Amino acid sequence: MKAKIAVLPGDGIGEEVMAQALRVMAQVSEQFGIKFETTSGLVGGAAYEKYGSHLPDETIALCKGSDAILFGSVGGPVSEMNLPKWKNCEANSILSLRKNFKFNVNLRPVKVLPELAELCPLRDEIINKGVDILFVRELLGDCYFGEHKTFKQADGKRAATDQSIYTEDQVASVAHAAFKAARKRRNKVTSVDKANVLDTSKLWREIVHEVGKEYPDVTLEDMLVDNCAMQIIRDPSQFDVVVTTNMFGDILSDAAAVLPGSLGLMASASLNEDGFGLFEPPGGSAQDIAGTGKANPIAQILSLALLLRFALSQEEAAQAVETAVAASLNAGYRTADIVGSRGKSAGTESGAADGGESIKLVDTVGMTDSIIKNLASIKTLLRV
């Protein structure tokens, strides 16, 4: 099969981790016979320098002509946030892409891998029950795309409003996505809202239940967002699929992202109703470590796996990439963000460095080398 991929590395660690994901892509191509045609485009601060825009028309056109978008990260260093190059950079690039391509469903899997359990801030007896949650976040409604206004009141004091809207079609679409996803997992959907206060949430709850009738095999429960925030920390094993509104999904998925131990392990998919998608690590541009070789490439590599699964329906290849990542972690390969207490004494080297005990502290390239090696051996096993 052939696939045209728009590659948008962006800023900060985006370039360096994307380069590693492309190496993995080349290996996938060789093993699974997928012909990738990749074209790079500028986005974020990198685009602003050349075009004066965080999301230039050239980049939108490139995405339009592609089968999927592999996205890195955007945003500048905290100390330079007010420079034109970085001002509103994330919102201008990410939100505009969502709006342009009508990406209404955002999938964020959160898993605690047993081999990385020591990085999870929760106690063993809580995480031993297993943490494997899929956040399904609505992406185009709520207060994100309603009218934003800052104004002066009659008394001269400043005020601001952000309008929050949900239509029944918007809710139904994301609810279907959640129920379908649950059918491929553990058949449970937790719908999170604030229906004790908000009209948008009352509508949300009503529509999710209407849609739920079409999925009688899936258990549906409602949870108020404040309670959910608590439950994610108290007992995350109770969740399978969590479906929620744009703003609540933004906050809860970041809170849950702490559980696996590092944002460098998180991948996400944003999809529209035609199945077109953008695949990105939601962890940000990590400007503080950009260029040091320390960035964890796993989030970008797992985003490639999601691209293979959702954009290209290459489930076997997607699983192979995920298995290769797990095998590297199992073998003790660690970038600095996931090294934990056992590997603290290990020095960073590119490639298979031997560190403290069985932990091997590696850099961005070293981690990818190991993943590619594992990927190659998976195919050998499948062939047998």
Q: Does 142 bind ligand IPM (CB under 6 A)?
A: no
Interacting partner of 126 out of ligand IPM, Mg ion, none (Cβ under 5 to 8 A depending on kind): none
Residues in contact with ligand IPM, counted by CB under 6 A, come to a total of 6
- Of 90-98, 189-197, 242-250, 303-311, the window that binds Mg ion (rule: CB under 5 A) is 242-250
- The stretch among 38-46, 203-211, 244-252, 311-319 that binds Mg ion (CB under 5 A) is 244-252
- Give 88 or 341: the residue with its C-beta nearer to Mg ion: 88
Q: Is residue 90 involved in binding ligand IPM (CB under 6 A)?
A: yes
91 or 197: CB nearest ligand IPM: 91
76 part of the interface to ligand IPM, by CB under 6 A:
no
Query: CB neighbours (10 Å) of residue 147?
Result: 10
Based on the residue annotation, tell me whether 354 is a catalytic residue of this protein.
no
Q: State yes or no: residue 280 binds Mg ion (CB under 5 A).
A: no
Sheet holding 277-280, edge to edge: 35-40, 2-10, 68-73, 277-280, 268-271, 105-111, 132-138, 241-244, 188-193, 219-224
- Which C-beta is closer to ligand IPM: that of 160 or that of 384? 160
CB closer to ligand IPM out of 90 and 337: 90
From CA 14, how far away is CA 297, in angstroms rounded? 9
**DSSP code, position 287:** G
Q: How far apart are the first and last CA of the chain?
A: 23
Tell me if residue 265 falls in helix, strand or coil: helix
Single out the catalytic residue among 50, 169, 199, 226.
226
* Token pair for 302: 């797992």
Catalytic one of 194, 294, 337, 369: 194
The answer to whether 222 is a known catalytic residue is: no
Catalytically annotated residue among 51, 254, 373, 379: 254
Residues in the chain: 384
90 binding partner (options Mg ion, ligand IPM, none; Cβ < 5 to 8 Å by kind)? ligand IPM
Under rule CB under 5 A, residue 250 binds Mg ion: yes
**Closest residue to bound ligand IPM by CB:** 90
Query: Taking the CA atoms of the chain, what radius of gyration do you get in angstroms?
Result: 21
* Contact yes or no for 182/189 (Cβ under 8 A): yes
For residues 259 to 288, the per-residue mask of contacts with ligand IPM, x marking binding by CB under 6 A and - elsewhere, is: -----------------------x------
- CA–CA gap between residue 339 and residue 359 (Å, rounded): 8
The answer to whether the beta carbons of residues 374 and 356 sit under 8 Å apart is no
Q: Is 344 a catalytic residue?
A: no
Stretch that binds ligand IPM, among 91-99, 126-134, 202-210, 233-241 (CB under 6 A): 91-99
Q: Which amino acid is at 299?
A: A
Tell me: does residue 337 bind Mg ion (CB under 5 A): no
What's 62-119 look like in SS3?
A: HHHCCCEEEEEECCCCHHHCCCCCCCCHHHHHHHHHHHHCCCCEEEEEEECCHHHHHH
Residue of 26, 61, 81, 91 interacting with ligand IPM (CB under 6 A): 91
DSSP 177-219: HHHHHHHTTTSEEEEEE-TTT-HHHHHHHHHHHHHHTT-TTSE
250 binds ligand IPM (CB under 6 A): yes
Residue 226 falls in the annotated catalytic set: yes
99 is catalytic: no
Strand residues in the chain grouped as ranges (E)? 2-10, 35-40, 68-73, 105-111, 132-138, 148-152, 158-162, 188-193, 219-224, 241-244, 268-271, 277-280, 333-334, 360-361
Residue 326 interface partner, choices Mg ion, ligand IPM, none, CB cut-off 5-8 Å depending on type:
none
Name the residues that contact Mg ion, by CB under 5 A.
250
Name the residues that contact ligand IPM, by CB under 6 A.
90-91, 94-95, 250, 282
Active site residues: 144, 194, 226, 250, 254
